Amino acid sequence: MKRQGPIKVLIVDDSPLVRSILINVLSDHEDIHVVGGAKDPFEARELIIEFRPDVIILDIAMPRMDGLTFLKKLMAHYPVPVIMCSGMAPANSHAALEAIESGAVDVVAKPDRGGSVALRRLGEELADKIHAAAVALPAPPAIPVSASAAPTSFHSVGLDPRRYLIVIGASTGGTEAIRTLLSHVPADWPPVAIVQHMPEGFTDSFAKRLDEFSRLTVTEAVDGDVLVPGRALLARGGIQMSVHSGGGQWRLRYGSDEPVNRHCPSVDVLFDSVVNTRGRQIVGILLTGMGADGAHGLLRLRQAGAITIGQDQRSCVVYGMPKVAADIGAVQHVGPPAEIPRTVLRLLQEVGSRKTASAQA
């Protein structure tokens, strides 16, 4: 999406040091114009009226009014893309996830150590997220899903969920997309491994939140976790996650903390780890997000015989990763998150029917 002029950004944070460094770092980007910094939502209100920013960086813990309360007021009266800037304490991570459910586009973790150097790194991370937020679409209206859209159990249609493995990747907007997808699956869905671009310290809270909405047991992955039906495992922030086989089981393993495609964890790392999987039918799903992480991994999965699905443009907050995947021929099927579980079941039934027919020929 082409823009006219730089992206106007407002920073709302009660720390003068944070405001100063972020303004300085972001101002180095020619296509970003920081219109001001506010110490609290009351100052922010006046600057919003004056400058009409395109993106707002919003702290969670502030005096007089917290960021979550202010966000909800913004969404009602000035629904601009908002990136939440949160400390890594558990209470803040819960608030950040609630903020995303309330309309925030993304969340970044404010460093608790490292001083100005760490804050400058945060500023560079924010620059990438600002570019994504600037092209983010408002959360699409919920599309009614008929009762028939909910897939029946795998066992009821003669499928053994142990024969399959589902890998999912997402970025900006992915928290809600994953939540929607997992809320529509049966309890005996095949094992699921998920990478969502999210800061370290937030993924445990996110997994617990997903667990509340799904028939599956959803947890943050622990190194060595076994992939079994009825369970979804979410990659921990800040470390790469892959799938390995051994002893007749498939396990998740953590590895390097080096970014791949500028992300850690990376969707491509997860997808590539199952490209040569034997004995299981793989389903790769790529959801909303900025950039291209996961697109080429999805292509390699398709070339290896996996079923590949991309989120459709209409339901994406940012139609980036799925678009790149579609453009390079990696995507076989598209749909909104709520419809993907039914699509997966239908496609696996078709694969099973073809194999049965072939065996009988």
Calculate ∠ Cα 26-202-264, nearest 5°: 65
Count of alpha carbons within 13 angstroms of residue 141, beta-carbon side? 2
Alpha-helix runs per DSSP H in the chain: 16-26, 41-51, 67-77, 90-101, 115-134, 174-182, 203-213, 267-273, 295-303, 321-327, 340-360
Q: List CB contacts of 125: < 8 A, sequence separation 6 or more.
A: 108
Q: Which of the residues 54, 59, 106, 171 is marked catalytic?
A: 171
Q: Which of the residues 131, 184, 197, 296 is marked catalytic?
A: 197
244 is a catalytic site residue: no
Q: Which of the residues 40, 106, 293, 312 is marked catalytic?
A: 293
Whether 315 contacts 139, CB under 8 Å: no
Q: CA 292 → CA 171, 260, 288, distances in Å?
A: 10, 11, 11
Paired tokens of 178? 């994953």
77 is a catalytic site residue: no
204 is a catalytic site residue: no
Strands 192-196 and 164-170, how do they pair? parallel
Which positions are annotated as active-site residues?
171, 197, 293
